[in-house]
Amino acid sequence: MGPVLGIETSCDETSAAVVDGAGIRGLAIASQDAHAAFGGVVPELAARAHIRALDAMVSHALSRAGLESDALEGVGVTAGPGLVGALLVGVNWAKAFAFGRGLPLLGVHHMEGHLFATSLEDRDAVPPFVSLLVSGGHTLLLEARAWGDYRLLGQTRDDAAGEAFDKVARRLGLGYPGGPEIERAAASGTPGARPLPRPMLSGSDGPGDAAWFDMSFSGLKTAVALAAAELEAGDGLHDAVADLAAEFQEAVVDVLAEKTARAVDLTGVRRVVLGGGVARNSRLRERLAERLGAGCRLFAPSPRLATDNAAMIAAVARHRLAGGERSGWDLNADPTLPFPGLDSSAAPALATAEGGSG
């Protein structure tokens, strides 16, 4: 199949991309800065910014690809999960564009996009593999048996890892988004100086229990808040921020690395694909490599493909369109869109998808 246009507007990045058999031909991403003042994404502001930016992003992507729109053979758009107003901007734009040009259209699941992202840079990052998807709205541990054939092993039972980073950063007086701020502060701190728990690692669960692969970050977030309150009542929090940030980051990556290693042991698959915005965290990549060891190959996306981007959406769409899949013109945004091809039999107590984006 020839070039496919991808559209991504699930949260606070407006992105368009052109992908073909050779990989990314053109990619444009506009990140929204207005939300930093509010400490989180404001849905109405995000949707309005997408409306203003999307035409330009598509023009930039096509220009970088050296193509006109009549060279395209399909359109893919994030249909969910995400912020419904933001999703609607992209879905309606893509439907109008595809209909007007007689192109096939496909609605794409945002997190399946993150599964495909690394393969755009490394052609060996293809199934079978174990995948850890970590973002602001999701933390999922999957076995990808083939593209479109996935087994859910575990997921967070409360906060996503990226959400926990944001909330802890806010409590420590750091900026937004929290992930880069925590990582920056942690660089001058000492892990272990102010010990924090490693949730769902110390129990008596075994490989047959859902909790063996599940994660939880709400209690860890609360532990940071209690430590911060104690410091504020005593000598002050300011001098302890770096140590708290370092220990919090280490606790999160310890949990993620251990759960991923358990998944590798269960499946026997010695290939791990990391995806989602938290995949940019350098300590997470280091800790995963340490825990998995030399016998396992770790694939991680570059920063531009770890963040929300349309190239990964175009890659999913191109694969599925080539297999004959199509979305109807009644395609709608769905903030709770189920993960396609997901077998949750390995974790019967879990839902198939979380809301949110990332």
CB 113 within 8 A of CB 79: no
Residue 357 lies in a domain: no
What is the 3-state composition of the chain as percent helix, strand, coil, each rounded to the nearest 5? 45, 20, 35
Q: Average pLDDT for residues 142-169, to the nearest whole number? A: 95
Identify the band that residue 345 occupies on the pLDDT scale cut at 50, 70 and 90.
Answer: low
- What is the C-alpha separation between 353 and 160, in angstroms, rounded? 12
pLDDT of residue 343: 85
Beta strands at 4-8 and 74-80: parallel, antiparallel or unpaired: parallel
351 pLDDT above the threshold of 70:
no
- Residue 9 and residue 227: Cα distance in Å, rounded? 37
Whether 103 and 167 share a structural domain: no
User: Is the CB of residue 179 less than 8 Å from the CB of residue 277?
Assistant: yes
Over the stretch 329-338, which tens digit does the pLDDT of each residue have? 999 999 999 9
Residue 278 vs residues 234, 281, 350, 351: alpha-carbon distances, Å: 33, 6, 22, 22
Question: What mean pLDDT, rounded, does the chain reach?
Answer: 92
pLDDT band at residue 137, thresholds of 50, 70 and 90?
A: confident
Q: Are residues 320 and 199 in the same domain?
A: no
Residues 235 and 317 occupy one common structural domain: no
Average pLDDT over residues 163-170: 95
Average pLDDT over residues 58-72: 97
Q: Residue 355: inside a domain, yes or no? A: no
Residue 210: band (very low, low, confident or very high) from pLDDT cuts 50, 70, 90: confident
Q: Are residues 68 and 143 in the same domain?
A: no
Q: Which residue has the higher pLDDT, 206 or 163?
A: 163
**With 70 as the cut, is the pLDDT of residue 205 above it?**
yes
Does residue 38 sit in the same domain as residue 107?
yes
* pLDDT bracket for residue 271 (50, 70, 90): very high
Range of the domain at 144: 128-300
Q: Is residue 350 part of a domain?
A: no
Residue 296 in any domain: the answer is: yes
pLDDT at 35: 80
| 47, two tokens | 């949707």
Residue 347 has pLDDT above 60, yes or no: no
Are 218 and 150 contained in the same domain?
yes
Residue 236, pLDDT score: 83
pLDDT in tens, 16-32: 999 999 999 999 999 88
Do 44 and 69 lie in one domain? The reply is: yes
Beta-carbon contacts of 55 under 8 Å, excluding residues fewer than 6 positions away, are none
Same domain, 166 and 217: yes
Flag whether 356 is in a domain: no
Indicate whether 12 pLDDT > 50. yes
Pairing of strands 4-8, 13-20: antiparallel
pLDDT(149) > 90: yes
Mean pLDDT in residue range 96-113: 98
Q: How far apart are CA 326 and CA 51, in angstroms?
A: 25
The pLDDT of residue 348 is 35
Percent of the chain with pLDDT over 70: 96
Residue 358 lies in a domain: no
Q: What is the pLDDT of residue 151?
A: 95
* Residue 41 pLDDT class (50, 70, 90 cuts): confident
Q: Taking a C-beta distance cutoff of 8 angstroms, is the pair 59, 335 a contact?
A: no
Do the beta carbons of residue 107 and residue 331 sit within 8 Å? yes
SS3 273: strand
Are the beta carbons of 217 and 164 closer than 8 angstroms?
yes
Q: Is 68 a member of any domain?
A: yes
Please check whether residue 104 is in contact with residue 55, taking contact to mean a CB–CB distance below 8 angstroms.
Answer: no
User: Strand ranges (DSSP E) for the chain?
Assistant: 4-8, 13-20, 23-31, 74-80, 105-109, 129-134, 139-146, 149-155, 271-275, 297-299, 342-343
CATH code at position 317: 3.30.420.40
**110 plus 207 within the same structural domain:** no
33 pLDDT exceeds 90?
Answer: no
Q: How far apart are CA 310 and CA 30, in angstroms?
A: 11
Q: Look at residues 250, 302, 260, 255 and name the one whose alpha carbon lies nearest to residue 277.
A: 302
User: Do 231 and 314 have their domain in common?
Assistant: no
In a domain, 121, yes or no: no
How, if at all, do strands 139-146 and 23-31 pair? unpaired
Domain count, the chain: 2
Please state, in angstroms and rounded to a whole number, the distance separating the CA atoms of residues 358 and 309: 10
- How do residues 176-197 score in pLDDT, each as one tens digit? 889 999 999 999 999 999 999 9
pLDDT at 358 exceeding the cut of 70? no
Instruction: For residues 98 and 222, state if they share a domain.
Output: no
Same-domain status, 133 and 265: yes
